[in-house]
Amino acid sequence: MKDRVSRILGASLLALAMVPLAGMTQDKPAERAPAQPANKAADKAADGPVPVEAFAVLPEFEGPTLSPDGTRIAAKRAIDGKQFLMVAPLIKGHGKPALAALNDKTDVNWWRWINDEWLVIGLGAQQSIQGEDYYITRMLGIRADMTKTIRIDWGNSGFRADDVLWTARDGSPRILFAKSTGIYEMNEVYPSVYEADVSTGRVKRIIAGQTDVWDWHADSHGQLRMGVRYNDDTRRTSLLYRKSNADSFQTIARADGRKAETIVTPSIFRADGSALAISDDDGFDALYEVSLPDLKLGKKISAVTDYDIDGIIANESGDDVSAIRYTDRSYHDAWLDPRLKELQEEVDKAVAPRRAEIVSWNRDRSRFLVEVGGPSQAGALYYWDSAFGTMQWLSWNNGQLKGRRLSPVRSLRYPARDGTSIEAVLTMPRGRGDKNLPLIVLPHGGPFARDSESWDWWTQYLAELGYAVIRPNYRGSSGYGTAFAKKGEGEWGLKMQDDLNDAVTYLAGQGIADPKRVCMVGASYGGYAAMRAAQRDGAMYRCAISYAGVSDLQAIQRYDSRFLFNRTRADWLHKQAPDYRAVSPRFGAASVSIPLLIVHGKEDRRVPVNQSRMMVAALKAAGKPYDYIEQPLADHHFTRAEDRLEFLKAMAAFLAKYNPA
């Protein structure tokens, strides 16, 4: 059966076509290059109306990363609405730019530089095996000039084979990675750990898979230090630990998920034998020093007040922390490294009032890729060589909008009806004043996620149409601590929905919104909330729009049962909504009292298209009006420009009909 899986994958997982790439500004030398002349160009306010096509444009670069020597960039690049994997030089004499055209049925999920000449990319594709659909992942080594590709042990792999644990820092093309070796025998499903030479595809096994160990962790030297054992039937977790490859693994901690017990899991192994880990011991996710092997929390390293940290950035050697990542009203990297802190302050000052985020750096952190923009600007990507103190403009993030400033964005807080303080992001339509505006309530997906002051093409398009847009971080959203997250338990479609409605009440009370001209729009969980509003709160809204929304929670649980840890997923979903039927919009279709537009991509793997089809069937049976658009090639994340444009046009027409601005 392994051979059969290998043949299926080999036939359809990847098709690379190398094509020349012209017109790249990155091919110009970066030394002493001036920054884009921009306080006029990059800060220019939009003069006239912006066409819908400008908002549907895919980001020029997605996930740009610098090579270890800082001379080349790897990224997804959008050309004519399609995305390609690109490697291009930033300095003359360092190769020629090239693109890899990808099979439409293959996802390029991530990419990583291994050394200056080789990258590894993570691929995924839906495959039918014995009549069942599965998502299969693989890794591909690719030379930076894209003249050679290497399949990393495809023939000896099961469902998952793309978990990179470590990358060599000595310039050699070596990685450690974990993968399953088969799909039917349990001893093959548990991931084993291998070392691979990306340039040749040769692998050697470091450790065989162990029962219920699904995650492995290595230190900065490539020593396999930790395994996380989890049993989905018992909900029990245990942590396996050793000091080096020469030692045996010992169980150092256990937890019972049914008793809400957790284990502190190290993120970084320090050179002095201690570790760093993220814990919510004080009610908010924070970074702590941790002793080994007893896992006792020591000094708190991060100092963020009233918000969780998002994560950390390791130092150059990988054995300590260099920055704390967090989001308050906007995203920040709080550098602990004095040199990088000074560099961040320098670039922040240079681009103010715009914002600068260092998104990638070379091996010695002297060359950087910097995104400069803001919540009202799509922004641009720059290359910064700190030795010369200037930044070279590489590309606009949106080639049609360029540096135009659109509608202003700010954060606010309002009280929910039970007194809970809700933070929200408000976008005011430019040139429309600030009173008695038509309003769009735009809840985020997740729901364990959040919105902040950042560029959002949906929001800015709605504002361009003339709507004020409120994006509430309703209870259960991430980033606000453990207690706030727990407030969402059992409240899907209930108090979480109330929080959205209370935003309308607040803005109406402030005179900003006209309470008689309000619609709800959302995707994923936000799409669920829009359908729920149409069914539950029609007196407050004139219409609702759902993209990729969930309509039947029991059905989504059945769908999730096909995936790993399905019992744990079911526990979580049941905790959020104890009575599935009572809060599933599908079963309340007869109560829908406002016009409803439903849009869904047929290729959506996160929320299957059947969720919208079932809602449409229920509306039809109840004799309720609806508009339904099924996009045949669309996925959950709008990765195609054509799908973005079709949706934006349909949304604008629907709003113009039922809630004109």
β partners of residue 111 = 121
For 480-520, what is the HEC assignment? CCHHHHHCCCCCCCCHHHHHHHHHHHHHHHCCCEEEEEEEE
* CATH homologous superfamily for the domain 409-658: Alpha/Beta hydrolase fold, catalytic domain (3.40.50.1820)
Residue 159 has pLDDT above 80, yes or no: yes
- Gyration radius (Cα) of the chain, Å: 25
Can you tell me the mean pLDDT for 296-318?
95
Of 345, 351, 355, nearest to 375 (Cα)? 355
Q: Which amino acid is at 657?
A: K
CATH 3.40.50.1820 range(s) for the chain read: 409-658
Of 319, 349, 161, nearest to 225 (Cα)? 319
The pairing of strands 163-167 and 149-151 is: unpaired
Q: Tens digits of per-residue pLDDT, 36-88?
A: 444 444 456 667 899 999 999 998 889 999 999 999 999 998 777 677 899 99
CATH of 105-254, one of 3.30.300, 2.40.128, 2.30.29, 1.10.10: 2.40.128
Residue 214 has pLDDT above 50, yes or no: yes
User: Residue 121: left if φ>0, alpha if ψ -120 to 50, beta else—which one?
Assistant: beta
Residue 461 has pLDDT above 60, yes or no: yes
The CA-atom distances, in angstroms, between 423 and each of 69, 486, 548 are: 42, 16, 25
The widest CA-to-CA distance across the chain, in whole angstroms, is 70
The CA-atom distances, in angstroms, between 15 and each of 104, 118, 429, 604 are: 9, 19, 44, 21
Cβ pair 634, 645 in contact under 8 A: no
Cβ pair 450, 515 in contact under 8 A: no
Angstrom distance (rounded) from CA 600 to CA 535: 19
Percent of the chain surpassing pLDDT 90: 77
Cα dihedral: 190, 196, 202, 208 (round 10): -30
Angstrom distance (rounded) from CA 52 to CA 408: 18
Angle between helices 553-560 and 566-576 (to 10 degrees): 160
Residues 6 or more apart in contact with residue 351 via CB below 8 angstroms? 372
3-class DSSP state for residue 436? coil
Q: What letter does residue 388 receive in the DSSP assignment?
A: T
Q: Tens digits of per-residue pLDDT, 366-411?
A: 999 999 999 999 999 999 998 887 889 999 999 999 999 999 999 9
- Cα angle value 250/253/259 (rounded, 5°): 150
Mean pLDDT (the chain, rounded): 90
Q: What letter does residue 257 receive in the DSSP assignment?
A: G
User: Residue 361: what pLDDT?
Assistant: 96
Residues 6 or more apart in contact with residue 509 via CB below 8 angstroms? none
DSSP 551-576: --HHHHHHHHTTSTTHHHHHHHHHHH
CATH 2.40.128 range(s) for the chain read: 105-254
Can you tell me the mean pLDDT for 99-111?
80
3-class DSSP state for residue 118? strand
Can you tell me the mean pLDDT for 259-271?
94
In the numeric block, which tokens belong to residue 358? 């260092």
In the numeric block, which tokens belong to residue 492? 């899907």
Residue 474 has pLDDT above 90, yes or no: yes
Residue 2 has pLDDT above 60, yes or no: no
DSSP 302-328: ---SSS-EEEEEE-TTSSSEEEEEEES
In this prediction the pTM is 0.92
Q: In what order do the strands lie in the sheet with 17-20?
A: 17-20, 98-101, 82-89, 72-79, 61-66
Residue 312 CB neighbours (<10 A): 24
pLDDT band of residue 186 (cuts 50, 70, 90) is confident
